[in-house]
Chain A
Amino acid sequence: MKHLKPINAKAFKIEADMASMEEDVVALQQTPRPHVPLGCSLSFSPGWEVDATGGTAGLCQPAERDIYDCYVTCFWPVQMADHVNYSPDWASNCAAATKDWRSLDIVFP
């Protein structure tokens, strides 16, 4: 703290708390950074209430590119079809997600 100088025990605790916020290590700050799909907000991670461009327009909504990007590339386990073992062809009819997302179908095990 630069402007407030703590002078009792409680104030020192607040200073320590604030210092720990500065040094907080968030997994996504490590390098190399994991791939985060455009539009992904990782809604359980506070501080990601904006998208990668600093706005809110691209936040994770049930939009086509989220479904597709989560499925193929994201490190985060989401409720998508298992394209490694059981549904390798799930996205084969979806060449361009922005146009073809309607052809992504429900998987029946």
Chain B
Amino acid sequence: MTTTLTHRYRSGEIHEFRAQGADFIYLVTAGAIFAADTMTRKVLDLLGQHGEMDHDELVRALVANRISAADAEELVRELRLARAIQSTQVVHALMPAAPPADYPLQALVLNVTNQCNLACTYCYEFGADKIATPAGKPKYMSLETAKSSVDFLLKSADKREAVHITFFGGETLMNFRLLQDVVLYADEAAASAGKRITYSLTTNATLLTDEIIAFLSDHAIGVTVSMDGPPELQDARRVYKNGKGSYAVMEPRLRKLIAGHKTRAVTARVTLSAGVTDVQRIYRHLKHDIGFHEVGFAPVTTAGEERDYALDGDAMTGVLADFEALADEWLDYALQGKVHGFTNVSETISELIAGTNKSHPCGAGLGLLGVSPSGDLSPCHRFTDADTHTLGHIDTGLDQTKREAFLTKGHVASKYECSSCWARPMCAGGCHHEAFVRYGDTGHANLHYCDWIRQWTDRCLQIYGVLAQRNPEFLTRFAERKGLS
């Protein structure tokens, strides 16, 4: 007697979405996006109704829908191989959690100072939820430490052709002298190592001068300005130590920067906090009144909703509605072949174009490391000067054991809640730092915004689906512009 294995199918790990009246599937195990035809729709509907179906049963049901038996077999095979449907007998192994030991470094964030001339009330470095322990440590990075950092980056980049340095603080421009010296040194060092190097910095813009602006433009240093919007929103929490708002000081300097910086886009990074949630108004002010090229938004990081600046669930719902309205505008622009400045959509679309499937939420501890003023290495700038998260020192190198522990914890496969979430290829559990502040564990999934992330990702998938149908050339050009193709 011959016994053959009978396949029994269920729906694969997919997220279905509709756009422009058509069906799409997002393949969670890969990050792939497919447009699905009506026959695929039929199979998914059948499996949706029945839960599981035997191969023959499924084929018979398709034949009953006037599909030939041969076509039905072919259809089932295609969907099975693409993993849009899966056999119940097949068990896919969990992803290995061990991080690569020799991942080449791509970027360093140099915290050139931990001092700041502002005292923003929600600051993760100085505010109520700070994790930094800067007492007794240098306040400004020395040139020696900075040069060692550059050498460390170039050496650890291995075969990479291009590396990047981000200058960060505190307030970065409080140590502008060092920044200048580092750029000149790193340009030479990179050239002799046969690598390209690019730079960026984040600043509150209050200390910009004509001289600084000229230097930033001459050396093609990308600038991100931390800014929360029009005067009353900016001044709600972005204040000096005496409580005075910073808008009036920064605004004229900012306009000069945008007018004078010819070589790189100037972008705004907005922190949304209680009462500062009018995303559309903030966007219009920063994009159209001030003239930023792009504007990105992120909710403030807090230990919990009891902080006076924290966003509660209702506020986050409002933010999402605003995000969606701006996303619609982004889509309208894209359909006309124009680029819109709402970074949050642009970033997500970039990842969808590539089909990103993240093992970790970001490059922290992988291709990116932070360096504190004292030379301590950390996963990223948000862990600067936090003793509990040191991953070595610039002079002694990376502590591989600590790095591995950090990355193993932060791997999406070690976050149980993520294993059943379709948005995990894009999210991978969310920011390590936010998880630590909120849950005391960098490896904890950021459960407080799961629904939010899923809804936002779904919206961006729909935008992607519409563009794939109505203006695919835009996606191609967008990918080229972002260096994805």
- List residues of A whose CB falls within 8 A of some B CB: 1-11, 13-14, 18, 21, 50, 53-57
Q: Which of B34, B37, B40, B84 contacts A7 (CB 8 A)?
A: B34
Pairwise interchain contact B78-A2, C-beta atoms closer than 8 A: yes
| Cα A57 to Cα B5 with chains together (Å) | 13
A-B contact pairs, 9 of them (CB 8 A): A4-B78, A7-B464, A7-B472, A8-B33, A8-B352, A10-B354, A18-B81, A50-B4, A54-B4
CB neighbours (8 Å) of A8 from chain B are 31-33, 352-355, 464
CB neighbours (8 Å) of A9 from chain B are 353-355, 479, 484-485
Q: Is B311 an interface residue (CB 8 A)?
A: no
- Contacts A10-B354, A10-B355 given: A3-B33 contact, CB under 8 Å? no
| Cα A77 to Cα B355 with chains together (Å) | 45
Q: Which of A3, A6, A55 contacts B78 (CB 8 A)?
A: A3
CB neighbours (8 Å) of A2 from chain B are 37, 74-75, 78
| Cα A6 to Cα B4 with chains together (Å) | 33
Shortest distance between the CB of B316 and any CB in chain A (Å): 28
CB neighbours (8 Å) of B37 from chain A are 2-5
Q: Which 7 A-B pairs have the closest CB atoms?
A: A10-B355, A55-B2, A11-B32, A4-B34, A10-B32, A5-B35, A7-B468
Q: Which of A5, A11, A55, A57 contacts B27 (CB 8 A)?
A: A11
Shortest distance between the CB of B278 and any CB in chain A (Å): 33
- Contacts A3-B39, A18-B82 given: A11-B33 contact, CB under 8 Å? yes
Given A6-B32, A57-B2, 13 more pairs with CB closer than 8 A: A1-B82, A2-B78, A4-B82, A5-B37, A6-B34, A7-B24, A7-B464, A7-B472, A8-B33, A14-B27, A14-B82, A55-B4, A56-B3
Pairwise interchain contact A14-B35, C-beta atoms closer than 8 A: no
| Chain B interface size range | 35 or more
CB neighbours (8 Å) of B354 from chain A are 8-10
Pairwise interchain contact B81-A3, C-beta atoms closer than 8 A: no
- Contacts A2-B78, A3-B40, A10-B357 given: A53-B34 contact, CB under 8 Å? no
Pairwise interchain contact B25-A4, C-beta atoms closer than 8 A: yes
| Cα A12 to Cα B139 with chains together (Å) | 50
Q: Is B79 an interface residue (CB 8 A)?
A: yes
| Cα A7 to Cα B355 with chains together (Å) | 10
CB neighbours (8 Å) of B39 from chain A are 3
CB neighbours (8 Å) of B479 from chain A are 9
Shortest distance between the CB of B472 and any CB in chain A (Å): 8
| Cα A88 to Cα B142 with chains together (Å) | 84
| Cα A18 to Cα B74 with chains together (Å) | 13
Q: Which of A3, A13, A18, A56 contacts B355 (CB 8 A)?
A: A13
Q: Which of B1, B31, B84 contacts A4 (CB 8 A)?
A: B84
Pairwise interchain contact B33-A7, C-beta atoms closer than 8 A: yes
Q: Is B162 an interface residue (CB 8 A)?
A: no
Pairwise interchain contact A56-B4, C-beta atoms closer than 8 A: yes
| Cα A6 to Cα B75 with chains together (Å) | 15
CB neighbours (8 Å) of A6 from chain B are 32-34
Pairwise interchain contact A4-B79, C-beta atoms closer than 8 A: yes
| Cα A49 to Cα B367 with chains together (Å) | 44
Shortest distance between the CB of A40 and any CB in chain B (Å): 17
| Cα A13 to Cα B354 with chains together (Å) | 10
